[in-house]
Amino acid sequence: MFRALAIAVVLFLATTPVRAVDLVCVQNEAQMVKAAREAGETLVWLGSSNYQQPFWFFANWKNETYTVWFQLPDSRICTGGGYFGRILQIGGNPA
């Protein structure tokens, strides 16, 4: 819980809020990577949805945490409370 609170504080201080939901956004990939690094996470993989929307998946295996970022049509990169959490299982093995 502390990790979620810490990343939320860092993101809210360093990013632009989006609508009345709990999303926070950065302007570019460098800012996203910096926020992930401050949360102790590194890029695990990058994907694209069936609608060509980019998604970035960061994780901290030691602390068993993850964050998902996605790009909006206006090019901002966002995440929020519903997009980070605790890793429960890695492959076929519990975390």
- For 74-95, what is each residue's pLDDT tens digit? 999 999 989 999 999 877 777 6
C-alpha triplet 67, 69, 73: angle, nearest 5°: 165
54 CB-near residues (< 8 Å, 6+ apart): 46, 47, 48, 70, 71
What percent of the chain shows pLDDT beyond 70? 77
The model's pTM:
0.74
pLDDT at 71: 97
pLDDT at 90: 77
pLDDT at 22: 85
pLDDT at 20: 47
Sketch the domain layout of the chain as residue ranges. Answer: 2-94
Q: Between 71 and 91, name the one with better pLDDT.
A: 71
Strand partners, 67: 58, 84
> By three-state DSSP, how is residue 48 classified?
strand
